[in-house]
Structure 1
Amino acid sequence: MKYIMTDNPKEQDVDIVLNNLIKYNISHIEEKEVKPLAIFVNDENENKIGGIIAETHGNWLEISSLWVDEKVRYKKIGSKLLKNVEAEAIIRGCKYSFLDTFSFQARDFYLKLGYKEVFTLENYPITSKRHYFIKQLIKSR
């Protein structure tokens, strides 16, 4: 065997690793369909002033990005985006939501909207923290 370390991997080498991992994972996961989900907010001039990027997979909504332009923050745009993406995820059959945020971003925002912090990476990447959250979208009966 030969181990090769590089800080400039070839795209085809990365694809081999990712595609084989995906193939293996899919063979062990019940729900194979991952569906993208995004909501954008435009101002009166059709400029993007906010958006949320996510995907749904089985019981889970995974939010990868939520952004609101600094000029329009604190006007409930972020809350509306989050509530709307959660509502669509419920329609798609999701019961839970997952996301992460940095300590300099929106930790308190997510806590206020019902997310529970389940894990924190300290000193990430050097002095910040990375917070991981989940939320139960559909309450058990």
Structure 2
Amino acid sequence: MKYIMTDNPKEQDIIEIRDNLIKYNLSHIELKHVKPIVIIVNDENANKIGGISATTHGNWLEISFLWVDEKLRGQKIGLKLLQDVEEEAIKRGCKYSFLDTFSFQARDFYIKSGYKEVLTLDEYPLTSKRHYFVKQLIVAK
């Protein structure tokens, strides 16, 4: 065996590692369908001013990115994006949502939106914290 370490990997190497891990993981998971959700907000000139990117997998929504242009924050654009992606996830059968954020980003926003913090990594990368959240989208009756 030959081990090769690099700080300048080829994109194809990363894709191959990811794809092989996904293939292995899916062989052990009962629900194999992962489906993306992307919602984009454009201004009147068709410029992107916000958006959210997520995937649904079984009964989980995983939010990857939520962004609103800094000049437009505080106008509930992010809240609408979050609510819309959660609503679509519920239509797809999701019961839970998962996301993470940095301490300088939107921790309080997610708490106000019903997310519960389940893990915090301190000193990430050095002076920040990384917060992990979950939310129950459908309450059991």
Which sits farther off after the overlay, 36-45 or 9-18?
9-18
* 1:126 equivalent in structure 2: 126
Share of identical aligned residues, percent? Answer: 76
Q: Report the alpha carbon displacement of residue 14 of structure 1 after superposing the two structures with TM.
A: 3.1
Q: Report the alpha carbon displacement of residue 6 of structure 1 after superposing the two structures with TM.
A: 1.7
* 1:5 equivalent in structure 2: 5
Which sits farther off after the overlay, 1-10 or 68-77?
1-10
Q: Report the alpha carbon displacement of residue 15 of structure 1 after superposing the two structures with TM.
A: 3.6
* 2:65 equivalent in structure 1: 65
Q: Report the alpha carbon displacement of residue 9 of structure 1 after superposing the two structures with TM.
A: 2.5
CA distance in 2: counterparts of 1:15 and 1:54, whole angstroms: 19
* 1:95 equivalent in structure 2: 95
Q: CA RMSD in A?
A: 1.2
CA distance in 1: counterparts of 2:13 and 2:48, whole angstroms: 36
CA distance in 2: counterparts of 1:15 and 1:89, whole angstroms: 26
After TM superposition, the runs of 4+ consecutive aligned structure 1 residues lying more than 4 A away are none
- TM-score, normalisation: structure 2: 0.94
Closer, same or farther: CA 16–41 of 1 in aligned 2, 3 Å: closer
CA deviation profile, 1:63-91 (whole Å, cap 9, x unmatched): 00001111111111111110010000000
CA distance in 2: counterparts of 1:73 and 1:10, whole angstroms: 37
CA deviation profile, 1:90-134 (whole Å, cap 9, x unmatched): 000000000000000000000000000000111001110000000
Q: Report the alpha carbon displacement of residue 55 of structure 1 after superposing the two structures with TM.
A: 0.7
Q: Report the alpha carbon displacement of residue 17 of structure 1 after superposing the two structures with TM.
A: 2.4
CA distance in 1: counterparts of 2:10 and 2:48, whole angstroms: 34
